[in-house]
Amino acid sequence: MNFRLHFGNNSSKTIFASLFKNKVAMAHHKSAEKRIRQTSKRRLENRYYAKTTRNAIRELRAETSPEAAKKSFVKVVSSIDRLAKRGYIHKNKASNLKSGLAKSISKKK
C-alpha cells in the first residue's frame, strides 16, 4: 500500500513509501493500529532527514571553495542539530560531526 507523505506545512518534499513491506501488522486494537501508522510515518521521515543530511555532509566535504563551504556549513549544522534533537543520532555524534566539518572547512584555503 502506497502513501504520499508530506513533510512540513505546504512543503513540496514528497516521497512515495511502501509501508509494511512484506510484513503484516497484527494489531488487535484501534490504538495499536494507530501506533503502527504513526511509527511507520515517523520512521520514513527520520530516514528521509537522515539521508538528506548525509548527502549534504558528503557535498560539503567535496566542496572546494571555502566561501561556498562556509555558506553550506550553516545549513548542514542545522540539519545535524535537528537529527540530534529528534534522537535519530546521539548528541555527541552530532558534536563530533560538526567539529570535524569545521576543521575540514578551516583547512580549505
Res 15: pLDDT: 44
For range 27-39, the mean pLDDT? 93
Q: Using the structure block, give the residue that is written with the C-alpha cell 572547512.
A: 105
pTM for the whole thing?
A: 0.69
Domains of the chain: 2-107 (1.20.58.110)
Name the least confident of 3-17, 24-38, 44-58, 72-86.
3-17
Long-range contacts, stretch 4-10, CB < 8 angstroms, 24+ apart: 5/41, 5/44, 5/45, 7/45, 7/48, 7/49
Q: Decide if 46 contacts 86 (C-beta within 8 A).
A: yes
pLDDT by residue (tens digit) across 11-24?
A: 444 444 455 555 66
CA distance 21 to 79: 28
